[in-house]
Amino acid sequence: MKKYFIILLGLTCFCFTKSNNDFNIVGKWKSKDKSGKVIITFDEKGYAIFESKKRKIGGQEFYSDNGRKFSLEYKVSLDEIPHQLDLIFTDFKSGKQKIDKCIFKVESKNKIWFSRSENGKRPAKFITYPTVILKRMK
């Protein structure tokens, strides 16, 4: 009887454990870091846009300071812990890509911890900088 109780308790916990696999990052998110307020939009087509007071980059096409045309896409993996997000910059002229490897942790459907790579390697954990808290905009 004790064995069945333990199995039933385990199944109940498993069934009611909240999974982040149903989390959807699509939408507008805001953050404030040492450079100021930033708004990040993750659209349903897989493009990301970063907006600050000074600049807007990303989307299907944008131009760098030297006039080159780029796109900025994102890919999310919720299967990994911490979750992974890749920002993929594509140069239209050369076709070359630069991938900025990021991690994020879901605190709630409207709040995530987000950390970008500094040296081309995916961060292993969340440290003070470059980690920011992103809050979903209504």
Mean pLDDT by 10 residues, the chain (138 residues): 38 41 92 84 97 93 95 96 96 96 95 89 82 91
Q: Of the candidates 67, 84, 66, which has an alpha carbon nearest to the alpha carbon of residue 75?
A: 84
- CA gap 95, 59 in Å, rounded: 16
Domain limits, the chain: 20-136
The CATH class of the 20-136 domain is mainly beta
Q: Cα separations (Å) of 132 from 35, 104, 111, 124?
A: 11, 10, 11, 15
Residue 123: phi, psi to the nearest 5?
-60, 145
- The residues that bridge with 27 in the sheet, in sequence order, are 42
pLDDT at position 20: 56
Structure tokens at 70: 């780029």
Q: Of the candidates 45, 36, 24, 40, which has an alpha carbon nearest to the alpha carbon of residue 116?
A: 40
